[in-house]
Chains A and B, each alone.
Chain A
Amino acid sequence: MKKTLLLTALLSATALGAQASELKIGLESDPDALDPDKSRTFVGRIVFTSLCDKLVDITPELSIVPQLATAWETSDDGKALTMTLRDGVTFHDGTPFNAEAVKANIERSKTFDESVRKSELSSIDTVEVVDALTVKFNLSASDATLLAQLADRAGMMMAPSALSPDFASNPVCSGPFTLTERVSQDKIVLDKFAGYWNADAILLERVTLVMIPDSTVRLANLQSGDIQIVNQLSATDAAAVEGNARLRFANITGLGYQGLTFNGANGDKSNNPLGQNAKLREAFDLSIDRDAINQVVFNGLFTPASQPFTPASPYYNPDFPVIKRDIEAAKAILAEAGVQTPVKVQVQVPNTPVTLQLMQVIQSMVAEAGFEVELVSKEFATLIADASVGDFQISQQGWSGRVDPDGNIFGFVTTDAGFNDGKYSNAEVDRLLREARTISDPAARAERYKAATAILAVDRPLIYLYHLGWLYGLDAKVQGLTLYPDGMLRLEGVSVTE
């Protein structure tokens, strides 16, 4: 009798089990340390999305919503943020999540010598445990970017019991999945955390992230059914995915961009016509046909850009639409400037196929206006090192994008900021962007960003080319996936049918 029962149970289990329990995702590169305080890679953030919950999260429309914090309140002077924490949450090792844990996490992010989160949390002076489920951040100045930071790695909560410099070798968080195995350069295996506070929303038992750097091979794995999601699908492969009945193509415009940074004041190399003359930069800009780039290189899937913010963003400045190619105007500017053509300029570009293709197209476009571009391709490691010490005239660089507008502009154009490789400096831009950091009213913030964008559109310390799109190839069996502009894969509600 017992046997029959068991058999029936098994049968019904298989009947219900029309859902496969495992999802395999092909990632484009191997993440670095699995420690939210040390992590520096984009793919690392994708892993963390399943592994570590944050205090708050975002919606696809970029509003901040509860995750580990259920409610929050900013004091009238903007100098205190009080958060109410979710009750009954435990970390993977069974230890409870509470205000003490938040305090330990924020303090580690701010003081751990290898932490790269310090600047993101610099506005937090002290963390106060009000009661077990209430925590108060005392700020040195009001900080409009803080919530967005807490929706990313700076807000990821690690188990205080596991905090050590070697956290990465055995990460313990409170996310929907736990780390089962990591074989570097090969795969990361995550298993469902039975004690997850939102366990009902997690339909997968296991998620395997497979590292496959080559986009063609990644696609081949999707076609053969070895993986079910291709992250960072190559734009030129989109048609192949769409043409396959067993696959689906999905994309969403991201928050990041690709652009060209001009060296205006960083060392000797800034002494070049384009570095010194904004009019020539304008001519360069005018000779680029962004629509043609989008068609030739990205099959029309990306969004041409002339600003750091996407047109959908409330901070977008409609007075400065995407620059249309005007080769005659470009030539006229060159003639007026009285420079001898061709104007020679060197562009450093990362030696990846897509960036090289992009720059060769631009090289050919600007040649018509009278610019002779020499491409110097460099490995990424060398490129960024050279850029930061000013060993470049123009550097082709991109940014994966952040939720808060500040993350997409401040570091690149304010005086002496970390990514301001061309050493652009404009007191008015500095003032506007600093103010925007402290104002919480979105409309008032937008005003500052629009004013700064207007100045940058004339000065052109960097020119924006296009906004990245996050492109995915999905097995048609994958159900319930919602895409987010930050490019993260949130697996709540995702299932794989058989």
Chain B
Amino acid sequence: MSTVSDAPDAVLDRPAKSRAWAKFRAHRIGMFGAGLVGFFVILAILAPILPIQDPIATDWGAVRQPPSSTYWLGADEIGRDLLSRMIWGAQASLLAGVVSVGIALGLGVPLGIIAGYFGGWTDAVISRCTEALLAMPFLILAIALAAFLGPSLTNAMLAIGIAATPVFIRITRGQVLSVAAEDYVESARAIGLPTHLILRRYILPNVLPPILVQATLTIATAIIAEASLSFLGLGQQPPAPSWGSMLNTAKNFLAQAPLMALWPGIAIFVVVLGFNLLGDGLRDALDPRSD
């Protein structure tokens, strides 16, 4: 974001920004979403210093026990504290969401800008590839990539990031096409400003808002995708917890210990809901048409 305020004509930009912020603050649902996300982020960051048990310490006597004063949410299939595994799992899930979207942004936005701004053959090649990738089911692509890279949290993030890239190429390209036709870009080109400057000063800041909204919503999708991959055994590796892998284990003990499946499911639901609400709020705040 710093590039935005560095831009010389931030004058034009700034009022829009603060207007957006004001609009967002007034957006109750969006703020609620931000609150939910914030709660889990803080929980995840504080995991190492919270007074909770070791998430990988086992207690043979507590195997699949219901909640008690020692184990507030119960214990898992080899007697580990579910509460602390939930909190450490938040770290894995949020990290997966943010990092994979970061990867998708890092790959997708530059490619989208290149395709949109330069057009011609470059555009044709990038666009056709994007279309082809989009035609493959997202989860299948992610599963194949994760299987290729080998099961691990890092690889799951990579796989999800790559699988989510085409969406960002497409959005960015569309935005660039509409922005590039604007007068101020035309005139910048007319006075002979170098391409990289035009891209940085005029194109990038103006294509960012919808991408930001999409990124927030994609974090939600990515968290579910990570859970899905972990659910298939392709994500976080034991003994480290993630919500998806906890669910994967829990489904074998549904009859004996249904709570093992309940907690991670609720957590995924709430955090994803948070990101979706936040994305909605951002969309409304950044949409120039809405009043």
Return the chain B residue nearest A359 by Cβ: B238
The minimal Cβ–Cβ distance linking A180 to chain B, given in whole angstroms, is: 33
The answer to whether A360 touches B147, judged by C-beta atoms less than 8 angstroms apart, is no
Asked if A378 is at the interface of the complex by the 8 Å CB criterion, the answer is yes
Asked if B124 is at the interface of the complex by the 8 Å CB criterion, the answer is no
Q: Please judge, given known A-B contacts A214-B251, A219-B255, A353-B249, whether A295 and B239 are in contact too, CB under 8 Å.
A: no
Return the chain B residue nearest A375 by Cβ: B238
A382 contact set on B, CB distance < 8 A:
147, 150
B58 contact set on A, CB distance < 8 A:
360-361, 364
The answer to whether B78 touches A377, judged by C-beta atoms less than 8 angstroms apart, is no
The listed residue (A351, A357, A379) touching B77 by CB distance below 8 A is A357
The listed residue (B56, B60, B151) touching A295 by CB distance below 8 A is B60
The answer to whether A296 touches B255, judged by C-beta atoms less than 8 angstroms apart, is no
A354 contact set on B, CB distance < 8 A:
252
Interface string of A358-383 (1 = CB under 8 A from B): 01110110000000000111110010
Return the chain B residue nearest A361 by Cβ: B78
User: B213-259: which have CB < 8 Å to A?
Assistant: 233-234, 237-239, 248-249, 251-256
The answer to whether A351 touches B234, judged by C-beta atoms less than 8 angstroms apart, is yes
Report how far A295 CA is from B151 CA in the complex, Å: 29
The answer to whether B78 touches A296, judged by C-beta atoms less than 8 angstroms apart, is yes
Return the chain B residue nearest A356 by Cβ: B238
The answer to whether B237 touches A376, judged by C-beta atoms less than 8 angstroms apart, is yes
A234 contact set on B, CB distance < 8 A:
252
Asked if A426 is at the interface of the complex by the 8 Å CB criterion, the answer is no
Report how far A382 CA is from B63 CA in the complex, Å: 31
Q: Please judge, given known A-B contacts A356-B249, A357-B249, A364-B78, whether A377 and B237 are in contact too, CB under 8 Å.
A: yes
The answer to whether A379 touches B151, judged by C-beta atoms less than 8 angstroms apart, is yes
B253 contact set on A, CB distance < 8 A:
236
Report how far A295 CA is from B61 CA in the complex, Å: 10
User: A277-330: which have CB < 8 Å to B?
Assistant: 292, 295-297
Report how far A295 CA is from B63 CA in the complex, Å: 10
Report how far A75 CA is from B125 CA in the complex, Å: 74
The answer to whether B147 touches A379, judged by C-beta atoms less than 8 angstroms apart, is yes
The minimal Cβ–Cβ distance linking B165 to chain A, given in whole angstroms, is: 24
B60 contact set on A, CB distance < 8 A:
292, 295-296
The answer to whether A375 touches B239, judged by C-beta atoms less than 8 angstroms apart, is yes
Report how far A354 CA is from B60 CA in the complex, Å: 16
A236 contact set on B, CB distance < 8 A:
252-253, 256
The answer to whether A216 touches B255, judged by C-beta atoms less than 8 angstroms apart, is yes
Chain B residues touching A, range: 20 to 34
A360 contact set on B, CB distance < 8 A:
58, 78, 238-239
A240 contact set on B, CB distance < 8 A:
255-256
The answer to whether A352 touches B78, judged by C-beta atoms less than 8 angstroms apart, is no
The answer to whether A353 touches B252, judged by C-beta atoms less than 8 angstroms apart, is yes
Report how far A379 CA is from B233 CA in the complex, Å: 8
Asked if A215 is at the interface of the complex by the 8 Å CB criterion, the answer is yes
B147 contact set on A, CB distance < 8 A:
379, 382
Q: Please judge, given known A-B contacts A351-B234, A364-B58, A382-B150, whether A237 and B78 are in contact too, CB under 8 Å.
A: no
Q: Please judge, given known A-B contacts A296-B78, A364-B78, A375-B238, whether A237 and B255 are in contact too, CB under 8 Å.
A: yes
The answer to whether B151 touches A378, judged by C-beta atoms less than 8 angstroms apart, is yes
The answer to whether B239 touches A352, judged by C-beta atoms less than 8 angstroms apart, is no
The minimal Cβ–Cβ distance linking B38 to chain A, given in whole angstroms, is: 33
The minimal Cβ–Cβ distance linking A258 to chain B, given in whole angstroms, is: 16
Q: Please judge, given known A-B contacts A292-B60, A356-B238, whether A351 and B255 are in contact too, CB under 8 Å.
A: no
B251 contact set on A, CB distance < 8 A:
214, 216, 353
Report how far A215 CA is from B249 CA in the complex, Å: 12
The answer to whether B252 touches A363, judged by C-beta atoms less than 8 angstroms apart, is no
The answer to whether B238 touches A216, judged by C-beta atoms less than 8 angstroms apart, is no
The minimal Cβ–Cβ distance linking A312 to chain B, given in whole angstroms, is: 28
The answer to whether B63 touches A377, judged by C-beta atoms less than 8 angstroms apart, is no
Q: Please judge, given known A-B contacts A351-B234, A379-B233, A382-B150, whether A216 and B239 are in contact too, CB under 8 Å.
A: no
A215 contact set on B, CB distance < 8 A:
252
Report how far A292 CA is from B78 CA in the complex, Å: 11
User: B142-166: which have CB < 8 Å to A?
Assistant: 147, 150-151
A379 contact set on B, CB distance < 8 A:
147, 151, 233-234
Q: Please judge, given known A-B contacts A234-B252, A364-B78, whether A351 and B239 are in contact too, CB under 8 Å.
A: no
The answer to whether A352 touches B233, judged by C-beta atoms less than 8 angstroms apart, is yes
User: B16-35: which have CB < 8 Å to A?
Assistant: none
Report how far A214 CA is from B254 CA in the complex, Å: 11
B63 contact set on A, CB distance < 8 A:
296
B151 contact set on A, CB distance < 8 A:
351, 377-379
The answer to whether A363 touches B234, judged by C-beta atoms less than 8 angstroms apart, is no
Report how far A418 CA is from B257 CA in the complex, Å: 41
Report how far A352 CA is from B256 CA in the complex, Å: 19
Report how far A357 CA is from B252 CA in the complex, Å: 11
A351 contact set on B, CB distance < 8 A:
151, 233-234
The answer to whether A363 touches B150, judged by C-beta atoms less than 8 angstroms apart, is no
Report how far A361 CA is from B147 CA in the complex, Å: 25
The minimal Cβ–Cβ distance linking A49 to chain B, given in whole angstroms, is: 27
The minimal Cβ–Cβ distance linking B144 to chain A, given in whole angstroms, is: 12
The minimal Cβ–Cβ distance linking B215 to chain A, given in whole angstroms, is: 30
B56 contact set on A, CB distance < 8 A:
364
Known: A363-B239, A382-B150. 12 other contacts (CB 8 A): A216-B251, A236-B252, A236-B253, A240-B255, A296-B63, A360-B239, A364-B239, A376-B150, A377-B151, A377-B238, A379-B233, A382-B147
A residues adjacent to B (C-beta < 8 A): 214-216, 219, 234, 236-237, 239-240, 292, 295-297, 351-354, 356-357, 359-361, 363-364, 375-379, 382
28 contacts between A and B (CB under 8 A): A215-B252, A216-B251, A216-B252, A216-B254, A216-B255, A219-B255, A236-B256, A237-B255, A295-B60, A296-B60, A296-B63, A296-B78, A296-B79, A351-B233, A351-B234, A353-B252, A357-B78, A360-B58, A360-B78, A360-B239, A364-B56, A364-B58, A364-B239, A375-B237, A376-B150, A377-B151, A379-B147, A379-B234
Identify the 9 closest CB pairs spanning chains A and B, nearest first: A351-B233, A364-B58, A216-B254, A353-B252, A360-B239, A356-B238, A360-B238, A240-B255, A361-B78
